[in-house]
Each structure stands twice: as structure tokens, then as C-alpha cells.
């Protein structure tokens, strides 16, 4: 079982007199910066020239600097920009300006675990990863609650990296809910695997396969959409609230019987072997290498795949049906 820490375990004095440079002001960036400030921590925001987030950060009352200038006087530098740019930002703007003894902090282990960022040996390196999107991290904090966080230490040059990381997590509000101890490797590898095999890749392909099977058999696309996509939220909400047991308790006996008899036929031994292959590609760095090369080439395959996905019939059917649901704040993804 993971070690779980709370506010009572933290020494918040380790943040006193320290300045945190939050690099990036997107989903996580705005939540980190605002929660830290409200916890009494000195915060500056570092953004690249022309960043669309500058206006939002300034409107929220932060001093906004270039990344170079934000880093120069910072005691903790938190990376909250996309994974694929962190290596370049580190080499060009952070490393040349990093104070002696300053800590490097991350909300995801990708860039360190896969050597996109290679910190100096005399600097602490830790990770605080809230297990929720930034707007939830912010809202729970302002409500007097918090979102659970993961805490990992990759490099403990000072002997106090874990203490500093825990204080940072508690300043975010994580210590109110619980801070789970992990490693950079575990967080990174499980995160990538979960996204690919279940949360994004697995679930979208499962939904489309069900939709296509019904439509190809002659059923109306609208009915197929409701059964294979729309009702997915109802089931996931039940599992989110009380696990699989609560979901099975809540659905009809017919649905429960179908679950128990068909699930293992859909997710069979072949699928489980494929998942093991995906995990192996994550662990040995194959996926990370492929992703970085795709970015270096301008994402040609990704752009083609995204266009193909956008053209799937389920998207057009869904847009029409969501317009019939006044209780929903329907969204439409912008063109990539």
C-alpha cells in the first residue's frame, strides 16, 4: 500500500521566504500559482514571449516574466508546460539561469524519466502531481477541501527534498485529501499506460467499435450513439462514486448479467496481451522516443489521424444529439 501523508505531516516552514516560479499558466499552472499564493507562498509566473496565457496571469494579479527572468531568483521552479517542450525550455532558459541549490519540480515525470531534462546533481528534483484537472484543484482549494496528490523525489541533494515536496503539495491543498508517495518511474509509466490502454485510446476505440457494430447491423446511428457513448457517462459516474461494486448494485439485473457474461469476451486474452505490449513500449522508452520524433517532424501522422477521427460518423451524430440536451453545456473541439 502507498504511504499517505496529510497536512499534519508537513513542515510548512520550509516554504517560508522561498519564491516559486510557475512555468506555464494553463490548466494546472493557474491552479498551482493561485493556490500557492493563497497559502502564503511567493509566486512568479514564467511564460514564453507571445504566450496567450499572459493576459490571464496578469488579470489574476501575478507578476509575469520571461522564463529566463522567472527562474533567476526562484528557489523552486515548477514545470507546468507540455511534456514535449520541457526539454528545450530547460536547456535554453532554465539551466543557464538556475540558482545554486534551487529545486526543480514537476507535475508529471515524463521529461525527467525519459531524460528530456537532466538536472544537475546538486539540485533537488521532486514531483507533485494533483490527481485532477486544474479547475478542480482550484475549486476544491477555495472550498476548503483538496484534490489528492502524488509525491515523488527523484533527486535529494539537500536531504530535504521530500519535506519541501510535501509542503508544496499541502500548499496546493493536497494535504487536506491525502498525498500518496510514489516514484517518477511509477507515476510516468502508469500514467502513459492508462491513457493509451484505457482512458483515451482504449475507451474511444471500444465506443467506436460498439457504434460501428450496431450501425453496420442496420440500427439507427442515433440509437447506437446513446447506447455506446452517451450512456457511458452514467456508468462511469457510478464507478467514480462507488467503484464497480456500486455500479453493479445500481444497474438492472439484466445489465449486471450481461456485464458478467460478456465483459471477458470483449476484453479477452488477446487484448490483455496487447496491453502488456503497450506497457513494455512505455517502460523501455519506445513510446516516448516516437512521441518526441513526431513533434520534431511537425506531427504529420498525428494531424492525419486526428482528421480521420474527426470524420467518423459518431462525431456528426453526437453533435446533433447533444443539441437536444439543454441540461448539457455542449462543447465543440476547435480545429487542430
Instruction: For 44-78, give one letter per residue: b (16+ CB within 10 A) or e.
Output: bbbbbeebebbebbeeeebebbebebbbbebbbbb
Q: State how far the alpha carbon of 282 is from the alpha carbons of 146, 277, 285, in Å.
A: 30, 9, 5
Give the per-residue pLDDT at 333: 85
pLDDT in tens, 303-323: 999 999 999 999 999 999 999
Whole-structure pTM value: 0.94
Query: What are the pLDDT digits (tens) for 244-254?
Result: 999 999 999 99
Q: State the cell numbers at 147.
A: 484534490
Find the angle CA(177)-CA(178)-CA(184) to the nearest 5 degrees.
135
* Residues annotated within a binding site for NADP(+): 25-28, 51, 53, 134
pLDDT of 143 = 97
> Average pLDDT, stretch 205-230?
98
pLDDT at 163 > cutoff 80: yes
| Parallel, antiparallel or unpaired: strands 42-46 and 64-65 | parallel
Cell of 330: 455542449
Active site includes 30?
no
Mean pLDDT of 221-245: 97
Residue 2 has pLDDT above 90, yes or no: no
Q: Which DSSP symbol is given to 298?
A: T
- Among residues 84, 108, 113, 160, the one annotated as catalytic is 108
Report the alpha-carbon distance of residue 100 to residue 165 in Å, rounded.
Answer: 18
Q: What is the pLDDT of residue 249?
A: 97
Q: Give alpha helix (H) positions in 179-268.
A: 184-194, 201-216, 221-225, 231-250, 253-266
Q: Which residues are annotated as a binding site for Mg(2+)?
A: 191, 195, 227, 231
pLDDT digits (tens, 9 = 90+) for 102-114: 999 999 999 999 9
- d(C-alpha 177, C-alpha 39), whole Å: 16
DSSP type of residue 15:
G
* Structural domains of the chain ordered from first start: 4-182 (3.40.50.720), 191-322 (no CATH)
Residues annotated as binding site?
25-28, 51, 53, 134, 191, 195, 227, 231, 252
Q: Per the annotation, where are the binding residues for substrate?
A: 252
Amino acid at each position: 500500500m502507498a504511504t499517505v501523508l496529510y497536512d499534519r505531516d508537513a513542515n510548512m516552514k520550509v516554504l517560508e521566504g522561498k519564491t516559486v516560479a510557475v512555468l506555464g499558466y494553463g490548466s494546472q499552472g493557474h491552479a498551482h500559482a493561485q493556490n500557492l499564493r493563497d497559502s502564503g507562498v511567493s509566486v512568479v509566473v514564467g511564460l514564453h514571449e507571445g504566450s496567450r496565457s499572459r493576459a490571464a496571469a496578469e488579470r489574476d494579479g501575478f507578476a509575469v516574466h520571461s522564463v529566463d527572468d522567472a527562474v533567476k531568483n526562484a528557489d523552486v521552479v515548477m514545470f507546468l508546460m507540455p511534456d514535449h517542450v520541457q526539454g528545450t525550455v530547460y536547456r535554453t532558459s532554465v539551466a543557464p539561469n538556475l540558482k545554486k541549490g534551487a529545486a526543480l519540480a514537476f507535475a508529471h515525470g515524463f521529461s525527467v524519466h525519459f531524460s528530456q531534462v537532466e538536472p544537475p546533481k546538486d539540485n533537488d528534483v521532486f514531483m507533485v502531481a494533483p490527481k485532477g484537472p486544474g479547475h478542480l484543484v482550484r475549486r476544491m482549494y477555495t472550498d476548503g477541501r483538496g484534490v489528492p496528490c502524488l509525491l515523488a523525489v527523484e533527486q535529494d541533494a539537500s536531504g530535504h527534498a521530500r519535506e519541501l515536496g510535501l509542503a508544496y503539495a499541502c500548499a496546493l491543498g493536497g494535504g487536506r485529501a491525502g498525498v500518496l508517495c510514489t516514484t517518477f518511474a511509477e507515476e510516468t509509466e502508469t500514467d502513459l499506460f492508462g491513457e493509451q490502454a484505457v482512458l483515451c485510446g482504449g475507451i474511444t476505440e471500444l465506443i467506436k467499435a460498439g457504434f460501428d457494430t450496431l450501425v453496420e447491423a442496420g440500427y439507427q446511428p442515433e440509437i447506437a450513439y446513446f447506447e455506446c457513448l452517451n450512456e457511458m457517462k452514467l456508468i462511469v459516474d457510478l464507478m467514480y462514486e462507488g467503484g464497480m461494486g456500486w455500479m453493479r448494485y445500481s444497474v438492472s439485473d439484466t445489465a449486471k448479467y450481461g456485464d458478467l457474461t460478456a465483459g471477458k469476451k470483449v476484453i479477452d486474452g488477446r487484448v490483455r496481451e496487447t496491453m502488456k505490449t503497450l506497457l513494455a513500449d512505455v517502460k523501455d522508452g519506445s513510446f516516448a522516443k516516437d512521441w518526441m520524433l513526431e513533434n520534431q517532424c511537425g506531427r504529420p501522422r498525428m494531424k492525419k489521424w486526428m482528421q480521420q477521427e474527426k470524420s467518423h460518423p459518431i462525431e456528426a451524430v453526437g453533435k446533433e444529439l447533444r443539441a437536444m440536451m439543454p441540461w448539457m453545456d455542449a462543447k465543440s473541439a476547435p480545429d487542430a
